Every structure is written in structure tokens, then in C-alpha cells.
Amino acid sequence: MRSRKNRCCRFLENEITYKPTGITMKEIQVNNIEADEFEAIRICDYEGQSQIEASALMEISRGTVQRLLNSGRKKIIDSFLNKKAIIIKNKH
């Protein structure tokens, strides 16, 4: 397996957690969104940049940006549809 290439991501002070109301964290399943997934979603979906622009900003390939978008979006929609918490993880 290849080593993971370093990705330029915005630093998060702390983990960010979102969850449905009325369910405690002990009772709920969690989807962890990694910092690079969050950054790709932020750049493409929130800022409206293209995948090519995001790949340049993050210093990774466009294909990697596409994979990050697909996996991050899937986790978000899974959380909404199945009442799961979302934790956005800090960059290591």
C-alpha cells in the first residue's frame, strides 16, 4: 500500500460534532469525516470552486478530490437519512 500524500487542509481548533436532537452520543452511530474530506467539500460545495481548483489548493490530484467529495458527501447524507452523528476530525 502506498503512503498517504500530505494534503493541505484548513486547521480545525477542535473536533466538530453534529448530531440529531433527542439522542445521546452513547445511543447514536457516528460518521467520522476526515479533515481532507471536509476541506474538499468546503472548497467545491461551499466556495463553488472546481475540482481542478481544489486539487491545486490541496496539492493533490483531481481524482483524489473527487474521491474525497464522494466519500464525504456519502457520510453526510447517510447521517441525515439514518439519524447518525457527524464528527469532523482534526488534521493529524
Output the pLDDT for position 39.
93
Q: Is the pLDDT of residue 9 over 60?
A: no
Sign of CA dihedral 80, 34, 12, 42: negative
Which amino acid, residue 63?
A: G
Domain boundaries, the chain: 32-88
Domain 32-88 grouped into CATH 1.10.10: yes
Global confidence as pTM:
0.81
Cell of 24: 445521546
Q: Which of 79, 89, 73 is nearest to 29 (CA)?
A: 79
Confidence of residue 89 (pLDDT cuts 50, 70, 90): confident
Q: How far is 39 from 27, CA to CA, in rounded Å?
A: 28
Instruction: Name residue, grid cell 447521517.
Output: 79
Cell output for 58: 490541496
Q: For 23-82, how does the pLDDT look when each residue is reduced to its tens digit (9 = 90+)?
A: 999 999 999 999 999 999 999 999 999 999 999 999 999 999 999 999 999 999 999 999
